[in-house]
Amino acid sequence: MGIIFNEKEKLFKLDTPNTSYVIGIVGSDGFLGHAYYGKKLSDLQGVKDLMRIYEAPFTPDTNARDRLSFLDCFPTEYSGHGVGDYRESSIRVKTAAGHSAVQPYYVSHEIYKGKRKLEGLPATFGAEDAVETLAITCMDPALNLQMVLEYSVFADTDAIARSVKVTNLDENALYLEKVMSGCLDMDNRDFDLITLHGSWARERHMQRLPLGCGKHSVGSLRGESGHQEHPFMAVLEHTATQTRGDVYGFHFVYSGNFQAMAEVNQFNQVRVLMGIQPEDFCWKLEKGESFQAPEMIMTYSANGIGGMSRSFHELYRNHLIRSPYKNKKRPILINNWEATYFDFNEEKLLDIAKEASQMGIEMLVMDDGWFGNRCDDNRALGDWEVNEDKLKGGLKKLVDGVNALGMEFGIWFEPEMISPESKLYEEHPDWAIAIPGRTPGLARNQFVLDISRKEVRDCIVEKICKVLHSANIKYVKWDMNRPLSDIGSACLPADRQGELYHRFVLGMYEMQERMLSEFPDLLLENCSGGGARFDPGMLYYSPQIWCSDDTDAIERLAIQESTSMIYPLSSMGAHVSVCPNHTVGRNTPFETRGYVALAGTFGYELDVTKLSEEDKAMVPRQVAMYHQFNDLVREGDYYRIASYQENHLYDCFQVVSKDKKESLVFFVQVLGEPNMHSRNIRLQGLDENAEYALWDVTVEPGKELLQETEVSVKGDTLMYAGMQVQRMWGDFKAKLFYFKKK
């Protein structure tokens, strides 16, 4: 890790353990350009030539007549708008005179140990010996507009965190209409593009396509990162695989509207941008006021997609997740939603808890339906008072009863929403986001609270904290079940209505921060209609996020594969549920459901009192499996071996401990094939010189969880020759293999 500035060459070199990122200053005006991003460089000799500043049209210093041609092809570090660079811009403003042009020029820089916090925003962090930061100050002298570009490098992972702070130093106000958090220009090398797409119950399915000419973008206008597209993009060589090839990954630490774009121009140059969605965004900056853009994460891997994945995992585990739970086992919970939906009382919940406690399950989570007159999803959001018709004697009595069984207790909230049929809406109809004179859209018969307003945030946080103080509550599931629409605030003036989307997200962050400050030991799990707000911004507040409302084990293979490509396994909320599955109606073996959920946080979403005796007997075995392997799953290095999304037959991935002493291999045979024998899989990440003993894992009652076999294999054999997985009879079959160094 390190950042240097070569005064003679006017080059900045940012080093991570295995990569270098180089920025150059060109010409007397101070054009800031990108020179290189890739494998670590030993020095800077010849690197400036990579910006092609010695080719025509040269810089405006030596060829002012072709300034537009220069700007149209120069690999700009942070692209301007409206002055001759006709590619996608990084920043755009509107002045009092109606002009929109911006051109950043280098002014000064600072290199310092550590990393500053981003006010009001989630961001990566690290101690002074773990992080170093470069802050480059740029100016547009015509606007008197300052832009500070910050880059942080980390000692333990190949990631760079970027952010931008914009300050108006002029006497006159201006309007910031676009501000990307990062821009990267580079030559096209027959690149592909990976993006993630989906919808409710099928979030984050991977799409890989050739990167052709023009603009290719993903984004959200829903007020959240969304089910449909994800704030992630990877640009990679066409021949890149899990284990080899150049891969550039980009991820946005934000939970609202976003845009990620890759553009190929007429010179076969690639520009990647990521930031807040410009559509419907407009932020007024008075004299001296600043706007802090969210953080963008970049990583480069010379070792394929898998190398990118492990860099993201290390960064998020060590420098983004703050929860006291990040380095320890999470309690095995059982959630009553699919067990009861709204039809429950304290007797039913205690019946579930009694049965669950005898099986080793450690926490009962009470989901939607416990407050106000919430008998269905048409009413009562905002009325966060316990319904004592359902819970006789109140919440504390129920929680005490659960605690007496040796279990902890958790509870569900949807704090950002309000129902038209609620006491809160009767008292404060103007607290709902709406446009005067326009019939507002409903989703799930609910409106969205205007949490850009302090009085709204104060009211909701006070209600939540009152509930949490009333009983021994250890866990909160924070849900959000509809996107934003009809964007209008009763409190913002006309020239600030374009700030509402972002102010909403800032308000949500503040509410979660306040709750966690008052209850620092609380385990928070974020959720948004399943996985609609599964993004790095939320990881800053909660160490786990509900991955999807679709708990079908086979559907989860695709969802969890794409999610784990960029997020650590410990962040993925994953449960065992009943069959036929409530989303797709599929029947899968109880054993397979357990193995798939083990690759996440692991828990249950069912009524244990209604399980068959065979399945009931397997639950304590799955609990034991979780305790045996969770440290390895949570802390180990992740390797993808085979993708069900690609081959449509089977799925396989592996987790290896940091010291390479043990490894767990997950294999799911989705479809049985006729006339097939064993399947060869090549493991990864092992010590090639070590000898490993193979242990079979079984959750079958009456047998040892781990059964040592007579197989002993060298690491190099397992990785380069492979191992044979015997054909299993039938569909949806799964098996775990545990390897331990001898």
SS3 545: strand
How many whole angstroms separate alpha carbon 269 and alpha carbon 491? Answer: 45
Of the candidates 158, 170, 368, 549, the residue annotated as catalytic is 549
Of the candidates 383, 479, 550, 552, the residue annotated as catalytic is 479
Range 660-671 burial, b when 16+ CB lie within 10 A, else e? bbbbbbbbbbbe
How many whole angstroms separate alpha carbon 181 and alpha carbon 165? Answer: 9
Distances (CA, A) of 141 to 32, 101, 168, 365, 386: 15, 12, 11, 57, 58
Q: Write out the DSSP string of 316-370.
A: HHHHT---TTTTSPPP-EEESHHHHTT---HHHHHHHHHHHHHTT--EEEE-S--
Contact 21, 160 (CB under 8 A): yes
Retrieve residue 525's tokens.
């799990």
Contact 482, 440 (CB under 8 A): no
Per DSSP bridges, beta strands 174-187 and 91-94 are antiparallel
Length of the chain: 742
What angle, rounded to 10 degrees, do the helices at 346-358 and 395-404 form? 20
Distances (CA, A) of 363 to 193, 402, 633: 42, 8, 20
Residue 159, Cβ density class (10 Å: 0-12 exposed, 13-18 middle, ≥19 buried): buried
How many whole angstroms separate alpha carbon 734 and alpha carbon 738? Answer: 14
Retrieve residue 21's tokens.
């990122």
**Which residue stretches of 543-640 are H helix?**
553-564, 590-598, 613-635
549 among known catalytic residues: yes
Hey, which residues does 422 pair with through a beta bridge? none
Distances (CA, A) of 726 to 270, 335, 676, 736: 45, 36, 10, 12
Contact 545, 512 (CB under 8 A): no
Amino acid at 445: N
How many whole angstroms separate alpha carbon 258 and alpha carbon 195? Answer: 14
Element (H, E) at 194: strand 191-197
Retrieve residue 132's tokens.
């170093």
Hey, which residues does 206 pair with through a beta bridge? 196
Element (H, E) at 134: strand 131-140
Retrieve residue 327's tokens.
């380095």
Angle at 497 between CA 493 and CA 498, to 5 degrees: 145
How many whole angstroms separate alpha carbon 352 and alpha carbon 335? Answer: 10
How many whole angstroms separate alpha carbon 719 and alpha carbon 139? Answer: 53
DSSP, res 114: S
How many whole angstroms separate alpha carbon 319 and alpha carbon 124? Answer: 5
Contact 521, 301 (CB under 8 A): no
How many whole angstroms separate alpha carbon 639 and alpha carbon 739? Answer: 15
Q: How many CB atoms lie within 10 A of CB 128?
A: 11
SS3 492: coil
How many whole angstroms separate alpha carbon 460 and alpha carbon 448? Answer: 13
How many whole angstroms separate alpha carbon 617 and alpha carbon 179? Answer: 56
Residues with active-site annotation: 479, 549
